[in-house]
């Protein structure tokens, strides 16, 4: 079930947003960009998002099938869950105006009333959510209450919620500058009150400790995007973090909130990944990468097996390549 406390049509399209806000240069760049860019299109540029970079890093063939062939995988339940929780968080930050009253209650020793003010600010649906969103929203509110006590309101409100960021830059490949357009939505940007800003990402899936490197890469992409954008008011980015208010679900390792200084090594790694993606477009080379290490296959849940070069090999060829690995070819 999809539920948006602001109403179904409150968020404009990217084109409408750019046009309405007068960001003409960004608007023209976005219109010129495409995921399916090839080097013969001199009047176009490559569009890159956090998601598209992640898909390419997972499997270039999957990226090619989605961006060039227009294939789409099955939309799973966790998509709606994520949208529902994000919409409620955005609604909270847009409408909550009782911080001073809540702080006064805390100072007077009445934390129950203060926390209830936060809970009363969310506009829950009449019908129950389908995927446990209530529990995640409650955990997120508890975290914000603890932040409120810790910060005493200083830097508690975000500087920006759902920041729609666009950046134009060049990536050098073999001595040639390739124009790209980066865009994405940053969940929240906070003033650290120490001369910098922090990026925070909200996730509604399960938490595993081995996700740290992937999360850092996502945040590094956002930081890079901001640094090449016209939104200098949110610079410098000195910290980043993430919240998994439902991190315990589906075998996860517990709810997680994480915050740290930015990692220069991760920034360099993401820049290299960006160059690999652009180079793949220049060479139009998107091979399948089915192996996860030497003994595991990452194709089990892939929706594109029937279209993939790897899975179009004969059964005998697959047996030779996958010797010692349990595998099932999707029908």
| Residue-wise pLDDT tens digits, 179-207 | 999 999 999 999 999 999 999 999 999 99
Closest CA to 297 of 264, 276, 265, 319: 319
| 237: three-class secondary structure by DSSP | strand
Query: What are the pLDDT digits (tens) for 88-107?
Result: 999 999 999 999 999 999 99
What DSSP letter does each residue of 173-222 carry, written as one string?
ETTEEEEEEEEEEEEEEEE-SSSSEEEEEE--S---GGGHHHHHHHHHHH
- pLDDT over 80 at 12, yes or no: no
Model pLDDT, residue 265: 98
Q: Quick one: average pLDDT of 205-228?
A: 97
- Can you give the length of the chain in residues? 331
Distance CA 284, CA 208 (A): 34
Range in 115-119, 128-132, 174-178 the model is least confident about = 128-132
Most confidently modeled range among 247-256, 298-307, 321-330: 247-256
pLDDT value of residue 2: 65
At 5 the pLDDT is: 77
pTM to 2 decimal places? 0.91
Could you report the per-residue pLDDT of 124-134, keeping only the tens digit for each? 988 889 889 99
What confidence score (pLDDT) does residue 294 get? 66
Confidence of residue 21 (pLDDT cuts 50, 70, 90): low
What rounded mean pLDDT belongs to the chain?
Answer: 91
98 phi, psi to nearest 5 deg: -120, 30
Share of the chain above pLDDT 90, in %: 73
Confidence of residue 257 (pLDDT cuts 50, 70, 90): very high
Using an 8 Å Cβ cutoff, are 168 and 30 in contact? no
CATH architecture for the domain at 1-287: Alpha-Beta Complex (3.90)
Residue 79, beta-bridge partner list: none
Q: Is the pLDDT of residue 11 over 80?
A: no
Q: Answer yes or no: are the C-beta atoms of 61 and 71 closer than 8 Å.
A: no
Query: pLDDT band at residue 302, thresholds of 50, 70 and 90?
Result: confident
Q: Is the pLDDT of residue 168 over 80?
A: yes
CA 227 centroid distance within chain? 17
Kindly report which listed range (20-29, 36-45, 220-229) carries the lowest average pLDDT score. Answer: 20-29
- In the structure, what pLDDT confidence band is assigned to residue 138 with cuts at 50, 70 and 90? very high
């Amino acid at each position: 079930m999809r539920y948006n406390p602001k109403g179904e049509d409150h968020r404009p399209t990217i084109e409408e947003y750019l046009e309405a806000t007068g960001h003409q240069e960004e608007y023209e760049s976005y219109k010129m960009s495409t995921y399916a860019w090839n080097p013969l299109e001199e009047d176009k540029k490559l569009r890159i998002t956090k998601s598209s970079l992640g898909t390419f890093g997972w499997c270039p063939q999957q990226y090619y099938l989605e961006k060039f062939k227009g294939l789409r995988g099955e939309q799973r339940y966790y998509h709606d869950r994520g949208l529902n929780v994000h919409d409620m968080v955005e609604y909270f930050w847009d409408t909550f105006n009782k911080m001073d009253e809540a702080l006064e209650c805390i100072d007077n020793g009445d934390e129950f009333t203060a926390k209830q003010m936060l809970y009363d600010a969310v506009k829950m649906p009449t019908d129950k959510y389908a995927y446990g969103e209530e529990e995640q929203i409650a955990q997120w509110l508890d975290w914000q209450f603890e932040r409120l006590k810790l910060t005493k309101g200083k830097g508690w409100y975000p500087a920006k919620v759902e920041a729609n960021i666009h950046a134009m830059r060049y990536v050098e490949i073999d001595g040639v500058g390739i124009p790209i357009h980066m865009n994405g939505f940053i969940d929240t940007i906070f003033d650290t009150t120490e001369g910098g800003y922090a990026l925070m990402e909200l996730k509604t899936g399960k938490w595993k400790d081995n996700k740290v490197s992937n999360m850092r890469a996502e945040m590094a992409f956002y930081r890079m995007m901001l640094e090449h954008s016209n939104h200098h008011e949110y610079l410098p980015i000195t910290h980043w973090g993430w919240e998994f208010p439902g991190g315990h679900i589906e075998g996860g390792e517990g709810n997680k909130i994480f915050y740290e200084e930015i990692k220069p090594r991760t920034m360099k790694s993401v820049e290299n990944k960006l160059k690999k993606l652009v180079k793949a477009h220049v060479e139009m080379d998107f091979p399948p990468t089915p192996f996860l290490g030497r003994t595991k296959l990452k194709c089990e849940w892939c929706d594109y097996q029937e279209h993939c070069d790897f899975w179009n090999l004969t059964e005998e060829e697959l047996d030779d390549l996958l010797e010692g690995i349990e595998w099932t070819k999707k029908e």
